[in-house]
Amino acid sequence: MAELKLSESKDLTRIERIGAHSHIRGLGLDSTLEPRLTSEGLVGQLPARKAAGVILQMIKDGKIAGRGVLIAGQPGTGKTAIAMGLAKSLGHETPFAMLSGSEIFSLEMSKTEALMQAFRRAIGVRIKEEAEVIEGEVVEVQVDRPAVAGAASKTGKLTLKTTDMETVYDLGTKMIEALSKEKVQSGDVIAIDKASGKITKLGRSFSRSRDYDAVGPHTKFVQCPDGELQKRKEVVHCVTLHEIDVINSRTQGFLALFTGDTGEIRAEVREQIDTKVAEWREEGKAEIVPGVLFIDEVHMLDIECFSFLNRALENEMSPILVVATNRGHTRIRGTNYKSPHGIPIDLLDRLLIIATQPYSEEDIRKILEIRCQEEDVEMTEDAKVLLTKIAVETSLRYSINLINSSALACLKRKAKSVEMEDVSRVYQLFLDVKRSTQYLMEYQNQYMFNDVSGGDLNEDDNTAMLS
Ligand SMILES: Nc1ncnc2c1ncn2[C@@H]1O[C@H](COP(=O)(O)OP(=O)(O)O)[C@@H](O)[C@H]1O
Ligand SMILES: [Mg+2]
């Protein structure tokens, strides 16, 4: 491996759907890290959010590696929500890797390999490089019509200027496509990376600030560059160790990042990469940015995984580990021993514990209101009161699920906003856990594999904390 390849994959656009936590945009803290009552989509749960804020500051300072945090609490108390809030407040440069405890059980790779990959997804590398760039204001983009209709290769000319000079460049098909993808037009100030051909729009030239036709509300105006068109510039890439691993470990390279089909990565590839990164750090070319690794439902890990975590946390490049569980005193997977949260004491000892508390009726109401907005559902006050009552009686998750289905019921009536009757209709249509259990108790003989005794739903000894 003579040259390490870095990212080729940063041009992805993410499509956001409405998911369980899509209303959460941060931790909702003020500048002194005090949690606001309701902010950035999060409601209440103040002590836990404040604690998460302290962790956020630790991560931002980037000085401490290998700390661990456990978020513990009953189901539906916002453990995952708080972790997502933390992720959103980190900003783009700090990596946040997330997995659920059950995801490590795969036939493709060993459990510890899966964990290793997760760790390396949470460790960022900031690499500074000198690059040759062409930077100037676009005077004209001119694309020739192909002589033969349908001819594959297009040609054209691009005229760029600085305050001191003007040059005409010949364009090939690839550049023409890149220019049209970025919608480059005359008056834009652009930078072209000479090595990769990547085009970045820096803004519109001030001299064009009066052309109102091409100006949107977000247009940024910049000065026309001076001096030479070609210059050497320092550029900074942010990639994760995992991305470097994958790109360098297979012939198909970065495509594996999209398919997720990375397979096991050989230890020597990682060693070479670590050595190279260490070299760069000494030369001042690279910096390590420890991020966050969030493992949800951590009780699904077994004793081997826990021992791996213990050791991985001691590495100086280790990210901050955040784990969450709703389990109480229970068996550690892979052993016959019981331990608080199903986590061995020696690992537990390294973790700071944040506890989440059940919500008040008032908080639940606010969360439901936020979810209604997120799902774009209009609901009358009465219906909201009923939905809150249902949440208190059953669970927050169940009633969040009812929002969408009652909106459908409302649509069917051809009404505009969801009323009590819609909510109560779907409440009757879909059972919550309690009613479903009741039903099972009554009709147990008719089901397969039934050995319900005394209403205990929990699988063997993995008892949920309260619930
Ligand atoms: N404090 C909160 N503010 C806003 N939404 C919340 C809050 N707590 C939980 N939620 C939402 O309620 C639902 C259940 O919470 P979740 O975080 O999945 O619970 P847990 O992980 O503790 O079981 C999710 O949709 C979550 O986004
Ligand atoms: Mg959760």
Tens-digit pLDDT profile for residues 81-90: 999 999 899 8
**Domains of the chain in sequence order:** 38-122+291-355 (3.40.50.300), 128-235 (2.40.50.360), 361-430 (1.10.8.60)
Ligand 2 centroid distance, CA of 80 (Å): 4
3-state secondary structure of 5: coil
Tens-digit pLDDT profile for residues 22-49: 899 999 999 888 999 999 999 999 999 9
Q: Output the CA torsion 46→52→56→59 (10° steps).
A: 160
What residue ranges in 207-337 does DSSP mark as E strands? 221-222, 230-240, 286-290, 292-296, 320-325, 329-331
What was the pLDDT predicted at 174? 85
Whole-angstrom distance, CA of residue 366 vs CA of residue 391 = 12
What was the pLDDT predicted at 253? 53
Q: Which residues form ligand 1's pocket by a CB distance below 6 Å?
A: 20-21, 24, 41-45, 73, 75-81, 326, 367, 370, 396-397, 400
Nearest bound ligand to the CA of residue 299: 2
For residues 416-427, one letter each, b for 16 or more C-beta atoms within 10 angstroms of the residue's C-beta and e for the rest, the string is: eebbbebbbbbb
What was the pLDDT predicted at 462? 45
Q: Which residues contact 210 (CB under 8 A, 6 or more apart)?
A: none
What was the pLDDT predicted at 136? 94
Structure tokens at 261: 């089909």
Distances (CA, A) of 301 to 99, 298, 310, 464: 11, 6, 13, 16
Ligand 1 centroid distance, CA of 377 (Å): 19
Query: With a cut of 50, which residues of the chain have pLDDT below it?
Result: 1-2, 7-14, 252, 454-467
Structure tokens at 91: 């900003």
Amino acid sitting at position 462: N
Q: Which residue(s) pair with 200 in the sheet?
A: 191
What was the pLDDT predicted at 2? 43
Whole-angstrom distance, CA of residue 402 vs CA of residue 406 = 6
Ligand 1 centroid distance, CA of 75 (Å): 9
Distances (CA, A) of 455 to 143, 444, 459: 74, 11, 12
Q: Which of 397, 399, 403, 404 for mutating ligand 1's site (highest number of atoms within 8 Å of CB)?
A: 397
**432 secondary structure, DSSP code:** -
Looking from the CA of 467 toward its CB, the CA atoms found within 13 Å total 19
- Atom of ligand 1 at shortest distance to CA of 77? 22
Handedness of CA 419, 424, 425, 427 (dihedral sign): positive
Tell me which residue of 346, 345, 309, 306 sits closest to 329, measured CA to CA. Answer: 345
Ligand 1 centroid distance, CA of 190 (Å): 43
Whole-angstrom distance, CA of residue 162 vs CA of residue 435 = 73
What was the pLDDT predicted at 340? 92
Question: Tokens 């390999």 appear where?
Answer: 113
pTM of the model: 0.75
Whole-angstrom distance, CA of residue 268 vs CA of residue 281 = 20
